[in-house]
Amino acid sequence: MNIVDVLNEIWTTILEVTSVFVMPDWGVVIGWLPVLILLGVVMPFLTFVALGSLLYVARKPRTKVVFEEGPRVAEIGPGGESIFPVGLPHCRRHGLVYPSGTLRCEEDHEDLAVICPMCGLGRTAIIDTCTNCGLVLKVKPRAVAVRTTPGPKPGGAAAA
């Protein structure tokens, strides 16, 4: 008598014992097994994966977008004064620093100021050439840079 015979005997005994209790419903249980596996294992797994990826997508790109678009609050110096980076448009009243190319404050539509990177003189952001040292700031708004027809307008069409 080897080990396989012993196992077979044990298995036969198990089947005989269990058949007494569960034989009438065994086929039904087998039939429901895929559904039970689906509900018990696959669905929680899928829910977990979906929730995880949702959280990942929701968290990752947001901080990046905030810093690239729209104003950010200027750093505060030791004397309580707002420190504005040179060459970037900013609003002194609201302490906001805007992306390059912005001309007006989103809060009150006031003209923004800009500090010349060369000589440190402040002026309004609308003027792109420094009146002190002549440095020209390239502050072209993105909407203008994307424009498809940068050439001269077709002449005579709208002339009155």
Q: Measured on CA atoms in the order 72, 77, 83, 85, is the torsion positive or negative?
A: negative
Minimum distance of Zn ion from residue 133's CB (angstroms): 3
The rounded distance, in Å, linking the Cα atoms of 27 and 33 is 10
Asked whether position 116 contacts Zn ion by CB under 5 A, the answer is yes
Per-residue H/E/C for 24-78:
HHHHHHHHHHHHHHHHHHHHHHHHHHHHHHHHHHHHCCHHHHHHHCCCEECEECC
Asked whether position 73 contacts Zn ion by CB under 5 A, the answer is no
Q: Which of 133, 141, 145, 147 binds Zn ion (CB under 5 A)?
A: 133
Q: Which of 82, 86, 94, 95 binds Zn ion (CB under 5 A)?
A: 94
The rounded distance, in Å, linking the Cα atoms of 59 and 142 is 27
Minimum distance of Zn ion from residue 116's CB (angstroms): 3
Binding part of the chain for Zn ion, among 13-21, 31-39, 81-89, 123-131 by CB under 5 A, reads: 123-131
Q: Which of 107, 126, 128, 145 binds Zn ion (CB under 5 A)?
A: 107
Residues that bind Zn ion (CB under 5 A): 91, 93-94, 105, 107-108, 116, 118-119, 121, 130, 132-133, 135
